[in-house]
């Protein structure tokens, strides 16, 4: 019996030690479980916060989406307007260049008319001098003078023709060959 008691005490001692180890392990596991529980709570709070932020973001996104679509539509309209304005600017520039070319052409024509008028004035002056110097010449020269006077008469009608041409150019900015022929017929 003593042996059995010693054996039982030994087993009891071993069981106590095992129980103590198990208790220590349980205490450690309990601490770990508390830490895990705290981490879980913290993670849950973070998840709730993230979910709430996501919900706010979704609401904000839903609110801003129509504005974005409106802005995109406005941008498309603005781009269309820019394209139209560029086309109009190109057309206007081409027209301006064309008008500038016409203006240069007309200025050159006017310059030519001025030169022609100046030349004719000089011719008239020369004819007048010739008439004055040769008044006492023979009948042949008198006939020539009469011929020159006839030419002088034509030349004197030239300012009227030129005046008429200037009037038409002032109204229209140019004169056609047909209109020029009608003016010459009018003053013949």
Report if residue 76 sits inside a domain.
yes
CB 174 within 8 A of CB 106: yes
Q: Report angle CA 123, 125, 130 to the nearest 5 degrees.
A: 90
Q: What pLDDT, in 10s, does the model give residues 83-118?
A: 999 999 999 999 999 999 999 999 999 898 898 889
Q: Report angle CA 133, 135, 137 to the nearest 5 degrees.
A: 100
**Integer angstrom CA distances of residue 156 from 54, 150, 151:** 97, 10, 9
Report if residue 106 sits inside a domain.
no
Q: What pLDDT, in 10s, does the model give residues 20-58?
A: 988 888 888 888 888 988 888 888 888 889 988 888 988
Number of domains composing the chain: 1
CB 155 within 8 A of CB 124: yes
| In the predicted structure, residue 73 carries a pLDDT above the cut 90 | yes
Residue-range definition of the domain harbouring residue 14? 2-96
Q: What pLDDT, in 10s, does the model give residues 116-173?
A: 889 989 988 888 887 677 556 667 767 887 887 777 777 766 777 778 778 878 887 7
């Amino acid at each position: 019996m003593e042996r059995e008691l010693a054996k039982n005490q030994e087993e009891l001692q071993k069981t106590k030690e095992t129980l103590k180890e198990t208790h220590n392990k349980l205490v450690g596991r309990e601490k770990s479980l508390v830490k895990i529980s705290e981490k879980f709570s913290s993670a849950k709070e973070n998840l709730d916060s993230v979910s709430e932020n996501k919900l706010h973001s979704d609401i904000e996104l839903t609110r801003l989406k129509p504005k974005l679509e409106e802005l995109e539509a406005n941008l498309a309209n603005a781009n269309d307007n820019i394209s139209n304005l560029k086309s109009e600017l190109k057309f206007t520039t081409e027209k301006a260049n064309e008008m500038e070319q016409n203006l240069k052409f007309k200025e050159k024509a006017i310059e030519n008319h001025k030169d022609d008028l100046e030349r004719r004035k000089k011719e008239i002056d020369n004819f007048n001098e010739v008439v004055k110097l040769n008044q006492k010449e023979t009948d042949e020269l008198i006939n020539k003078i009469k011929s020159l006077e006839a030419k002088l008469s034509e030349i004197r009608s030239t300012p009227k023709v030129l005046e008429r041409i200037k009037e038409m150019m002032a109204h229209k900015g140019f004169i056609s060959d047909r209109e020029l022929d009608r003016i010459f017929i009018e003053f013949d």
